[in-house]
Chains A and B, each alone.
Chain A
């Protein structure tokens, strides 16, 4: 199995103004990904932009790998313009995935913004009752709501501007959940992905309450497979590569150096 392959674009469907579902069809045999792993995708056909971009996968089918991406800058704008039938270079699956929860642990999934994409592949594999706390800036930024509701577990959605669900940040919702369910403090496994301020806040809550769990980080990276050392983050074991030792790290391992 090769982790560097070409894939044909089967569909590139706009979900709304800023989000697309990219369905790729690998032209070579590929390795099955684990929830939380990611891929580096070529976004254009020139050297500007130069680098591939990292994307969490959303789901796979026997012959496709699917990505949900948000248009944020030049690279993702080019990706939105990819036409059905065109061929892109992809490297992956890369990085570690989310370790599955222990048999006595209740998974509590905390997602911020596009962090839900990385966590969605984990959520689909969870077999016991779990909680999903999902926050975004506003209603338009919420992704995969129907799918999350269909999965039939405890879902709490919040938005910064109160345009959908509860008002406020997802870390505040996590505090409420833990206050309301005393048993979770001893039996939950947190899974988090989202913007750095949110992850830092979740780390703080986990540290206060002695909770265990994992978070997936995002950093600029040039290669995606451990060579460039561009994506290093500070951990209790020194700098570690988001692309190789991560993107999923134990929450307790991350050393937050800056204010966000």
Chain B
């Protein structure tokens, strides 16, 4: 069984990755899942300096989902390189570092430092809905996105560049194409969807930040649609993210056009979700008589009539 997929020139032993912000720096999960089994670990978003994050409450539950407004709390570049990266390097898995900045210069400095440290890929976070500057501003302005991707691409030599797109745009193909044209090696989408929930007894928002990012199974159909649209618009690999809980969801994204997938909120419910997804994908391919997972990428038959008797 060949589970190898490629993110640009980076081969992954299987398509299962973790989603940034849901897997800590890997060590939080080490007792629940063998990290050696995963295609890649994407770590919590890293900024130049440590970030404290937002006040609590930071999360709340919604139907088939959750909202968060963590505010990108992270240990900062220096501590990441010194304490977190060496830990992850012990494992036979790709290490992808999600980065975030307020300015293009900050992204460039982060990318250069990580390129020199030899991480396998950098994921540009241009889509976090929970911070006031930077982040989502790049993800929702075509020209700003193109400038950022171009500059970061110029600043790295060996590291694969993934751009994580925001769902908060009117045309995902346009943003996907802009990132590709600017030199991104791959795309990941979607990030959480900006959302709000209100406590009807207190008349106050349920999150201290007022709004937050919606994740979980509730957003999966939106993410599948966006992955399908984006993957048809570009020739670089697309990584599907959004409400993937198990292997069946991962397969759905790959049929839509994803070359790999990231599991996020699903890890909170089941800390072994990623490894179980890998074994579930193998079982699926065996059942279908498929020996190479790349055969299913983008193979959705968008024209055939179907019935939903298996739902």
Contact = CB atoms under 8 A, between A and B. Distances in A.
A227 B56 contact: no
A228 B59 contact: yes
B28 A227 contact: yes
Nearest to A221: B59
A51 B268 contact: yes
A48 to B, nearest CB: 5
A238 B54 CA distance: 11
Interface residues of B, number: 35
A110 interface: no
Contacts of B23: 227
B65 A50 contact: yes
Interface string A40-59: 00100001111110000000
Interface string A221-242: 1110111111111100011000
Given A4-B271, A230-B70, A219 B57 contact: yes
Contacts of A239: 52-53, 73
B56 A238 contact: no
A220 B57 contact: yes
A257 interface: yes
A91 interface: yes
Bin the interface of chain A by size: 20 to 34
B29 A227 contact: yes
Given A226-B28, A239-B53, A47 B64 contact: yes
B58 A238 contact: no
B63 A233 contact: no
Chain A interface SS verdict (over half)? loop
B73 to A, nearest CB: 5
Interface string B272-286: 100000000000000
B174 interface: no
A233 B217 CA distance: 27
A51 B269 contact: yes
A27 to B, nearest CB: 15
B216 A50 contact: yes
Interface string B18-29: 000011100011
A47 B217 contact: yes
A128 interface: no
Contacts of B311: none
A154 to B, nearest CB: 35
Contact of A229 (B57, B70, B265): B70
A51 B60 CA distance: 10
Given A47-B245, A227-B29, A228-B68, A257 B267 contact: no
B91 interface: no
Given A227-B28, A228-B268, A222 B59 contact: yes
B235 interface: no
B137 to A, nearest CB: 23
B52 A238 contact: yes
A228 B22 contact: yes
B63 A48 contact: yes
B55 interface: yes
B267 A223 contact: yes
B252 to A, nearest CB: 15
B60 A4 contact: no
A257 B55 contact: yes
Nearest to A217: B56
A3 B31 CA distance: 8
Q: Which of A2, A89, A227 has the most chain B CB atoms inside 10 A of its CB? A: A227
B60 A227 contact: no
Contacts of B108: none
A222 B66 contact: yes
A147 to B, nearest CB: 32
A179 B120 CA distance: 63
B61 interface: yes
8 contacts: A4-B271, A47-B245, A48-B63, A51-B268, A52-B269, A226-B24, A229-B73, A232-B53
Given A42-B269, A48-B64, A229-B70, 12 more contacts: A3-B32, A4-B32, A4-B272, A47-B64, A48-B63, A89-B270, A225-B29, A227-B268, A230-B70, A231-B59, A234-B55, A239-B53
Query: Which are the 7 A-B pairs with shortest beta-carbon distances?
Result: A230-B59, A223-B268, A222-B268, A227-B24, A227-B28, A47-B64, A226-B28
